[in-house]
Structure 1
């Protein structure tokens, strides 16, 4: 759920850093260049003097206690993801409950039994009736959350380079605060009178309009790129990824206990309050990092080039699309174009399965195993932790010890996904559904291996455009996947509720076929593809 923004914004940060390094090489000492540099700073609204900027740059590259403010971004993202996963399952459970009471008008006692174990046949029948309707609400939410981020993904990087990172961070965190605040209000009202679960879509609107996960990921990774040195940057990016997963695990682990001790309204209020606290920290303590980038020497420009840059820095500039599509479809030597698109297809398959199965998986668990919220969130916690460990240990053992190629490791990762999907489809007991986690231990290695393939066959100056298109597609794919999985689940609910997992397995087999095609293509030019074949 969080891979596509990270891929896009990492490349934006890297390309921005590359431009600065080129500027260092081409810098001259002429007075005209100094004038152009000053003009560029004014165009970006820089309120600092040259000496202040130099002091700020020195502060970043020299350890001081005050430099700790540049490391606050990772804890704030951890808080955001904690709040997200704290309420994720609880919100789905609440929507199912309100669908039962407000839409189908079942009595409150029967509807509360939907989330308990050892349900009667009457309760199971109610669950079968309620779930397809609730699935449509989940699908609609997913669709709304896909459209706007797909649009933002094409423009938000340029906007950030012109106006700064901090405004985007504050905007995104504010959107999430409003999201959970509105959910808490709707949930509280539902405790006093019957209220349609469709009112929860009111919370999705500010969250989506303000960019959602795309916005904060772009801003956070660009911020990290601005304030870290070349030596620090890989470690900072690793810490950032770790913060995301730790936040998700903590939220999932805490959700069941907090919900059991309180109620849904309290859980949503805690999420809103947590993100509001993080937003205040962003406003008060985290500085604008763009000034540090403006302190770097800028290449000499002509008047025409300056005017052109001003135009392309507009938020909605069609030339961004044209350049991206031209780069992604132009003819390339050594079968590179085919390899690029086969790899992109593999990445899209992963998003398709995740985007589709996430919509109905909680419903499937309730129908098949009748788990409580606490039991599901514990399962979710383990399902996040095991792939993280599998990724770290797998890359060491398969790559370092066995010295397998990148493509081979990618195939093994998708095979792991296939095994996990088959086990989920036919699972009849708690042990079997937990074994599915073990079968999928290597699944998180699929995306890194595919990104490595792309990085090996695409020139550095074109990586940003390739990953930008990939991210836009990844934002749109759930728009298609969610309705498909919802329809399939609704049709097969009464006979084979786990059937959608077989669809997932088939998609992963298709990804394996694509990687095998890449393996065959690279064998035609073994010397050229040495980085991915060894």
Structure 2
């Protein structure tokens, strides 16, 4: 089974750029909030994230609620704009091609990095952090952009190779996360904010050049007229909304809807990731270096875990996605509870270890969903998830910001128990999907190949069925 890299290289570069600058951007936001908005001593504010003592601990508690509020507004702006555009980008790409949306997404990444350089170079209000987020208008938002990339891979693969190709794609992002997070704080200490964001801009530029000159279009049959008017075609939206609810054989619709619902609830719990940075800084007095060290370890574990789950268990031993997902969900709950109980650094690391069986969950879930529907419906289903992510994103951010700020003086980590509760609901929903699938049929899912994936010597579409029984 050959492998020719396509979107894996640019998404690695883009993820590396994002993670190299993400925690640095958060640190800059806290610093600017401290002395520009709250008018504390600039010299003392500059120590936040770099020095831990009684004064910085007290100052962190005072600054954290305001900085998290600014971050919340930024998330809402991204999500609202992304939700609107996501309604149109994926249906448009189904008709006119994936490549234009992908190119626009990487252009947006370059422009965003340029705005970050301006933010770092001049002593601007921390509210300026919202300006780079407006580049979501070019890509439809992170969730929508990733959806198009997954659809691109779906166009190029058949059901047998799709799981591991999505896994490689996720590993490329994980590698970018690992390298970016592990080096960001050290790079900042060795240089300055402007230099870090400039390196991020350079990485985005290389990714854009790769996409423009080396990434081919994945759709062989696409429309070429009415490109602008076709972007706002409402019939495409109606079809996208109807797709998850179509009648399907052997309880497949019920399994699909329960799987999608569990994934959407997962987006509701994603706000915890945005609060984690503030949580460990406030409760455990982690410096930026300590945080990036943990992120490095966490991502190394995640990469090895994903290889073990996706390649060894799923691809080699042929253990079906649905069971690996269920096990991963169970351990996610245990891991989150450990985070909530943590009072020492080692307990945070133990939580990361406990989360190992959940590695590769995103790849497994998307692979499963792609096998429950027709090939031409995959992008529409992924778009539905993307819209859900954009809608639930701000709601999640609001909930977690409220929980964190409410209990910050009691226990900053209490929000983790809310996350564990959501994960428990997700586990039960997916368990119900497993039960329905096992009782309904001995054919867990059907994957319909479209004409683009048929070998040239075949005259008809082939329906490829996985006949493993529960």
Same fold (TM over 0.5): yes
Q: How does 1:459-478 map to 2 (within 5 A)?
A: 459-478=374-393
CA RMSD of aligned residues (A): 3.4
Say whether 1:149 aligns with 2:82: yes
Say whether 1:254 aligns with 2:183: yes
- Gapped regions of structure 1 (runs ≥ 5): 1-62, 299-305
Please name the residue that 1:286 is paired with. 214
**Preserved contact between residue 301 and residue 353 of structure 2 (Cα < 8 Å):** yes
Please name the residue that 2:62 is paired with. 129
TM-score (norm 2): 0.84
Please name the residue that 2:230 is paired with. 314
When residues 478 and 221 of structure 1 are mapped into structure 2, their CA distance, relative to the original with a 3 A threshold, is closer
When residues 470 and 235 of structure 1 are mapped into structure 2, their CA distance, relative to the original with a 3 A threshold, is closer
> Which digits, 9 at most, give the CA deviation of each residue in 1:233-258, with x for residues without a partner?
77765543332221221111221210
Please name the residue that 1:363 is paired with. 278
**Preserved contact between residue 226 and residue 289 of structure 1 (Cα < 8 Å):** no
Say whether 1:274 aligns with 2:193: no
When residues 525 and 250 of structure 1 are mapped into structure 2, their CA distance, relative to the original with a 3 A threshold, is same
3-state SS, counterpart of residue 113 of structure 1: coil
3-state SS, counterpart of residue 497 of structure 1: coil
> Which digits, 9 at most, give the CA deviation of each residue in 1:117-146, with x for residues without a partner?
4311x3322211111111111111111222
Cα displacement (A) at 1:468: 2.8
> Which digits, 9 at most, give the CA deviation of each residue in 1:36-79, with x for residues without a partner?
xxxxxxxxxxxxxxxxxxxxxxxxxxx9xxxx9x8564322221
Please name the residue that 1:347 is paired with. 263
Cα displacement (A) at 1:172: 1.7
Q: How does 1:83-482 map to 2 (within 5 A)?
A: 83-120=17-54, 122-160=55-93, 163-190=96-123, 195-214=124-143, 216-217=145-146, 220=149, 237-283=166-212, 285-286=213-214, 289=217, 293=220, 314-332=230-248, 334-354=250-270, 356-395=271-310, 406-482=321-397
3-state SS, counterpart of residue 231 of structure 2: coil
Structure 1 distance, partners of 2:150, 2:195, is 32
Structure 2 distance, partners of 1:213, 1:488, is 25
Stretch of structure 1 that moved more, 223-232 or 412-421: 223-232
When residues 189 and 454 of structure 1 are mapped into structure 2, their CA distance, relative to the original with a 3 A threshold, is closer
Say whether 1:519 aligns with 2:438: no
3-state SS, counterpart of residue 314 of structure 1: helix
Structure 2 distance, partners of 1:163, 1:462, is 15
Structure 1 distance, partners of 2:6, 2:42, is 45
Cα displacement (A) at 1:372: 1.8
> Which digits, 9 at most, give the CA deviation of each residue in 1:305-364, with x for residues without a partner?
x99x9799811111112222233234555443332222112111222222x112211000
Stretch of structure 1 that moved more, 258-267 or 486-495: 258-267
If you compute each CA radius of gyration, which structure gives the higher value, 1 or 2? 1
> Which digits, 9 at most, give the CA deviation of each residue in 1:278-314, with x for residues without a partner?
334444x336536x825xxx9xxxxxxx99x979981
Please name the residue that 2:453 is paired with. none
When residues 175 and 407 of structure 1 are mapped into structure 2, their CA distance, relative to the original with a 3 A threshold, is closer
Structure 1 distance, partners of 2:216, 2:52, is 55
Q: How many residues align?
A: 448
Cα displacement (A) at 1:211: 2.8
**Preserved contact between residue 98 and residue 152 of structure 2 (Cα < 8 Å):** yes
> Which digits, 9 at most, give the CA deviation of each residue in 1:180-211, with x for residues without a partner?
21121122111xxxx42111111211244443
3-state SS, counterpart of residue 232 of structure 2: coil
Structure number with higher helix proportion: 1
